[in-house]
Amino acid sequence: MAGKLILAGAAVVAIYLISVPLIFLLGTAFRGPADFLPFEPGSRWTLDNLWDVYLDPALYRSILPNTAIFAAGSVTITFVIAFTLAWLVERTDLPFRSAIFTAILFPLLVPTVVLAIAWTLLCAPNAGWVNVAIRGLFGVQGPGPINIFTMPGLIICQGIASTPFVFLLLCAALRTMNPSLEEASNTSGASPIVTFFKITLPVLRPGILAPLILATLLTLEQFDLPLIIGFPARVNVFTTRLFFDLNAEDQLPKYGSAAAVALLFLVIAILLLALYNYMVRRAERYVTMTGKGYRPTRLKLGRWRAPALVFVGAYLTFAAVLPALVLLWTSLTGGVTWSEATLSWTAYEKLTSDPRFWKAVVNTFIVAACSAGIATLVGALISWQILRTRFIGRNLLDFISFLSIGIPSVIAGFAVMLLYLSLPIGVYGTIWILVLAYSYRIAVTTRLSRAALMQIHAELEEASSISGAGWLDTIRRIVLPLMTPALLSSFLLLFMVGFREFTIPMMLQSDDNWVLSVVMWRLQNDRQTGEAAAVGTLIVLFVIPIIFLMRRYLLAQQNND
Amino acid sequence: MLKVKSLHKTYQGPDGSFHAVRGVSFEIPQGGFFTLLGPSGCGKTTTLRCIAGLEDADGGSITIGEQLVADPTNGVHMPAFRRNIGMVFQSYAIWPHMDVFSNVAYPLRVARPRPSHDEIETSVMEALKLVGMESLAKRSATKLSGGQQQRIAFARALVRQPQLLLLDEPLSNLDAKLREQMRFELQELVARTGVTTLYVTHDQAEALAMSDQVAVMSGGQIVQSGDPRAVYERPQDAQVADFLGIANFMPGRISALGDSKSLSVKLDGSIGVLRLPDLNSFAPETAVRVVFRPEDVVMRTAAADDTVEGRIERINFQGTVSECHVRAGETLVRMLIHPSVRVQRGDQIWLAVDPTRCVVFPAESVALR
Ligand SMILES: Nc1ncnc2c1ncn2[C@@H]1O[C@H](COP(=O)(O)OP(=O)(O)O)[C@@H](O)[C@H]1O
Ligand SMILES: [Mg+2]
């Protein structure tokens, strides 16, 4: 009985966290007029928002094409870099593979805001390090030659930032490929180049397309770089459009019109998600073709060794080393030019004497830990329910939890905002609204714990029942201990996702619930570059040990060299 | 046709290096069927892969036809795709993104100069007919059973009429019944095409049934090679005997018989004497092991001067035969009897072994079990 209540509770929480905010979003798209809150007395049902948004030529002239160019461009760059890196690490005798694998994870864990601000410090047209260096080397004058505040700048930065995630997925795809397939081509008389194009790429195609679609989905929802690099460049994409609809300087938030924009992108995201699901199934069909005799042989790089190392080095320099250095330097000098720079702890002293900084630190950890805890618990319970019971609603539950991958975080943040604006329970503006908003990502847990549950044969649980244990005892003494590693992984992953989060706390920010990423952005915006860089440096210092933790425990099985 | 001379291969791993192939030499004449037989991990696949060019040898040389393809000391490493070979992989390695026809046509389509469209069509259909799969040409490769995948793999390996066919345990992924059937088909196929074949397996029945020549490998070396029957009947040492399924190792001592010059083996425990041919290489009083197969032991119901006394300890009924464990002195002798023979546990019996079916090794070369 207690068991049934707990399961039902988990299902209700999951559905509530994911779908209720979306229902409010859907409703808001059809509520007006604009000077009322969507569900305030006085507002009414209307199609005005839809007409305003979808009849406005600006949507078709700037937002849609900009979003498309941004997504297509950066996904292309991500793919070229990530595939090359994954292939080098997994299939060649590249030296230092293991260390390189670890280093590539850096931009995955460091919040993108931190990288974004670091890159503006590197490539801003006037004072950016890279520009200063180039001007010094070639004796040119004036600003430039590189201007990061352009569409190409935005695309390149986003491409680099998304690389590690796609890299991990591609490594997994490459690893599941049976190397005999390529060897059979060699012994059939095909040269390595022909083999690569006729066998390797086609066999990997579904395994490559699935990450490609996921990367597109994730790029669509990117907000950090479009805000920090795209906005000064006057490049508006869908996420920033939504944000400025709600945070315009000179007018009231336009909830209805923002919701109408969000609808379109929600539909696109869900279509991409369906496509992703289809590709994953196809990839699995190809993988099951492998049999015994697995023996990965690594391609000898020979004289390509040096160029390969240069490529990896260049990526790591721009994605990890230079950002970390520029943040450290700027935090110690306050962001002045080279010649006037003196090292001092001023920025750190100012930062640590400000109670708002400490509050943000506490907020960041509370929100990341609580939301990771909620999502892990709820996700584990519903995946048990989906796999082990015959409960009628389990397919719906499965669908809704999977849906959570596809909801862009701007939309999630916005939907939660609408819900608690209308629901007077006093969480609006506190850190608890952030906890509720972050917790929708239960798909991470359901995926990991389903994989773990499938390893635990149902007979282990049945044996426990036969031995006289009730449901709760079986869960507590048999299932939980066996699932602990998967649950810990899921908690750690979600904790890092929450720690990096910038979009949702920006959407829902008030003076009380700042987190570190928001603080860093505000400092940078107020031209307190030194302090902003100090926050970034501290974040990097916190993340570095976590990278090693992750490498050791989460990705340990990938250490195959 | 294929000449392998003192081949060496060492794998470098994160936890040290491993010398997998240690000086393997053999030759296969044109059209021969040669088998490398040995327990798993003894270096068969590695040898095969060095010949295919998938692995670079560290020492020795390999010649296919007239072409020197590997001679690392002189810097010769011909890549796999330039060697004119066909290979069937243990996992078959059927490409999942192509249909059956394209899988088989692939070696011709990548050939330089490329044969004409019609030539490819004809050769592929011929190869498919050879393996009895011509009706499935358009089927997607993901929809094939294990046996079908294997036939496709054969067709693909043979389609460009290679000089040398390499087979790496091609039957090991099939279930027992299909394996039997495919063994006959494979024999038939190789005989019809007349291609020179190198076959790798850990299954002695396969090796003995199919090959002209067998080489038994152990620990990266060939320990014995020759005609299958000779290897089976005259294992060169105890290790080979053990691997070939000889289960009886009786301890004894060489004794000179008083009435003639010939030697015999006095079995330990004074349970009997065996007069055997070919004992001249042993000095009298040498400790030896007499080695013979369970199926070469016969049961007598009365003592004679060539019998050994024993008592039945266990009878395992196995359908077509029964296996008996007989305690003779200190040692346990395994023998096979027809299931219709009515004996019981505890019965006293007399054993006789055909002397020509026994092999004798010095005792110190055999680890007692
Ligand atoms: N790529 C490799 N790296 C290191 N050791 C290997 C590698 N491939 C095989 N080995 C080792 O070499 C030995 C021989 O392997 P293999 O030739 O596959 O044996 P077989 O085919 O006879 O079973 C085994 O002990 C195996 O562990
Ligand atoms: Mg093998």
Give distance in angstroms: CA of A554 to centre of ligand 1: 29
Residues B141 and B223 in one domain: yes
B182 with B267, same domain: the answer is no
**Using beta carbons and an 8 Å cutoff, which residues of A are at the interface with B?**
178, 180-181, 183-192, 194-195, 198-199, 202-203, 205, 285-286, 289-295, 297, 561
Asked whether residue B368 carries a pLDDT value surpassing 60, the answer given is no
Tally of domains within chain B: 2
pLDDT at B75 over 80: yes
B77-134: pLDDT as tens digits = 988 888 999 999 888 888 888 899 999 999 999 988 889 999 999 999 999 998 888 8
Is the beta carbon of B346 within 6 A of some atom in ligand 1?
Answer: no
CATH code of A472's domain: 1.10.3720.10
Q: Give the dihedral of Cα atoms A24, A25, A29, A32; nearest 10 deg.
A: 50
Distances (CA, A) of B256 to B292, B305, B326: 22, 16, 28
Chain B interface mutation, best of A176, A180, A187, A194, highest count of B Cβ atoms under 10 Å: A187
Count structural domains, chain A.
1
Whether residue B265 is contained in a domain is answered as yes
Q: What is the mean pLDDT of residues A450-476?
A: 77
pLDDT at A290 over 60: no
Q: Which of A281-285, A304-308, A375-379, B229-233 has the lowest mean pLDDT?
A: A281-285
The sheet with strand B322-328 has its strands ordered as B297-300, B348-353, B308-317, B322-328, B331-337
Q: How many other C-beta atoms lie within 10 A of the C-beta of residue B241? A: 24
Do B54 and B80 have their domain in common?
yes
Cβ B254 vs Cβ B288: under 8 Å: yes
Ligand at shortest distance from the CA of B169 = 2
Return the minimum-mean-pLDDT range out of A241-250, A550-559, B260-269. Answer: A550-559
pLDDT value of position B344 = 85
Residue B300 belongs to domain with CATH number: 2.40.50.140
B261 and B340 inside one domain = yes
- Categorize the per-residue pLDDT at A293 as very low, low, confident or very high, splitting at 50, 70 and 90: very low
Kindly give the number of the ligand 1 atom that is closest to the alpha carbon of B168.
21
Identify whether B173 is part of a domain: yes
Whether residues B251 and B205 share a domain: the answer is: no
Same domain, B54 and B32: yes
Asked if residue A294 has pLDDT above 60, the reply is: no
Q: Cβ distance B266 to B253 under 8 Å?
A: yes
Cα–Cα dist A23/A344, whole Å: 52
Q: Which of B180, B206, B241 is the last residue of a domain?
A: B241
Share of chain B above pLDDT 90, in %: 34
- Rounded Cα distance between A519 and A361, Å, is 10
CATH label of the domain that carries residue B171: 3.40.50.300
Rounded-to-10 torsion of CA B167, B173, B177, B178: -60
Find all residues with CB under 8 Å of B236, minimum gap 6, and list them.
B223, B224
Q: How far, in Å, CA of B27 to CA of B31, rounded? A: 12
Ligand nearest to the backbone CA of B55:
1
Residue of A nearest to B113 (CA): A189
Mean pLDDT of B315-322: 86
B328/B214 Cα distance (integer angstroms): 34
Domain-embedded: residue A499? yes
**B16 in reach of chain A (CB within 8 A):** no
Judge if the beta carbon of residue B11 lies within 6 A of ligand 1: yes
Residue B111 confidence (pLDDT): 86
pLDDT tens string B140-154: 888 888 889 989 999
| A260 occurs within a structural domain | no
Measure the CA–CA gap between A431 and A509, rounded to whole angstroms: 9
Q: φ and ψ at A344, to 5 degrees?
A: -160, 165
In a domain, A332, yes or no: no
Q: Do B335 and B288 fall into the same domain?
A: yes
Mean confidence (pLDDT) of chain A: 82
Record: contact B168-A187, CB cut-off 8 A: no
Handedness of CA B64, B67, B71, B77 (dihedral sign): negative
Nearest chain B alpha carbon to A186: B81
Looking at residue A558, its pLDDT comes to 46
Residues B195-238: pLDDT tens digits? Answer: 999 999 998 888 888 899 999 999 999 999 999 988 888 888 88
Q: Tell me whether residue A64 is exposed, middle or buried, using C-beta atoms within 10 angstroms of its C-beta: 0 to 12, 13 to 18, 19 or more.
A: middle
Answer yes or no: do B283 and B217 share one domain: no
Contact between chains at B91 and A291 (C-beta distance less than 8 A): yes
Position A288 scores a pLDDT of 47
pLDDT in tens, A181-227: 888 999 999 988 899 899 988 888 878 888 888 888 888 888 889 98
Instruction: Measure CB to CB from residue B95 to each of A191, A199, A294 and give the nearest one.
Output: A199
Average pLDDT along chain B: 86
- Chain A residue with minimal CA distance to B173? A292
Q: Can you give the pLDDT at residue A383?
A: 85
Comparing A484-488, B63-67, B154-158, B313-317, the range with the smallest average pLDDT is A484-488
pLDDT beyond 60 at A443 = yes
Name the domain boundary from B208, B241, B274: B241
In DSSP terms, B8 is beta-bridged to B22, B59
Q: Are residues B221 and B350 in the same domain?
A: no
Q: Ligand 1 within 6 A of B358 CB?
A: no
Considering the domain architecture, whether residues B104 and B215 belong to the same structural domain is answered as yes
Q: Do B223 and B260 fall within a single domain?
A: no
CB-ligand 1 contact for B43 (6 Å cutoff) = yes
Sheet holding B213-218, edge to edge: B85-88, B164-168, B196-201, B33-37, B213-218, B221-226
Query: Residues B271, B328: one domain?
Result: yes
Instruction: Out of B194, B212, B241, pick the residue that ends a domain.
Output: B241
Q: How many H-runs (helices) and E-runs (strands) does chain A carry? A: 29, 2
Q: Residue A287's pLDDT band (boundaries 50, 70, 90)?
A: low
Whether ligand 1 lies within 6 angstroms of the CB of B20 is answered as yes
Nearest chain B Cα distance for residue A350, angstroms = 49
Q: Are A40 and A189 in contact (CB under 8 A)?
A: no
- Is B335 a domain residue? yes
Q: Is pLDDT at B12 greater than 60 in this prediction? A: yes
Of ligand 1's listed atoms, the one at least distance from the Cα of B49 is: 17
The CA distance from A523 to A114, in Å, is 12
Percentage of chain A exceeding pLDDT 90: 10
Domain with B155 in it: 2-241
Mean pLDDT, range A521-543, rounded to an integer? 85
Question: Which helix (H) or strand (E) element contains residue B119?
Answer: helix B117-130
pLDDT at B256: 72
- CB-ligand 1 contact for B45 (6 Å cutoff): yes
Distance in Å, CA B90 to ligand 1 centroid: 14
Task: Express each pLDDT in A468-500 by its tens digit.
Answer: 777 788 888 888 888 888 888 888 888 888 888
Among protein residues, the one with the nearest Cα to ligand 1's atom 14 is B43
Q: Which pLDDT score is estimated for B257?
A: 63
State the residue range of the domain holding A408. 1-30+345-526
Residue B283 inside a domain? The answer is yes
Q: Which pairing describes strands B221-226 and B213-218: parallel, antiparallel, or unpaired?
A: antiparallel
In a domain, A152, yes or no: no
Residue B37 binned pLDDT confidence (cut-offs 50, 70, 90): very high
**Who among B45, B93, B111 is closest to A184 (CB)?**
B93
> Average pLDDT for residues B8-17, to the nearest whole number?
84
**pLDDT of B263 higher than 80:** no
- pLDDT reading at A535 higher than 70: yes
| pLDDT score for A556 | 58
| Within a domain: A408 | yes
- Please compute the mean of the pLDDT values over residues A357-374 and round it to a whole number: 89
Residue A561's pLDDT is 42
What is the complex's ipTM, to 2 decimals?
Answer: 0.79
pLDDT exceeds cutoff 60 at B367? no
Nearest to A37 by CA among A266, A264, A252, A251: A252
B303 close contact with A: CB closer than 8 A: no
Residue nearest atom 18 in ligand 1 by C-alpha distance: B45
What is the residue with the minimal CA distance to atom 7 of ligand 1?
B11
Residue, of A250 and B6, whose pLDDT is higher: B6
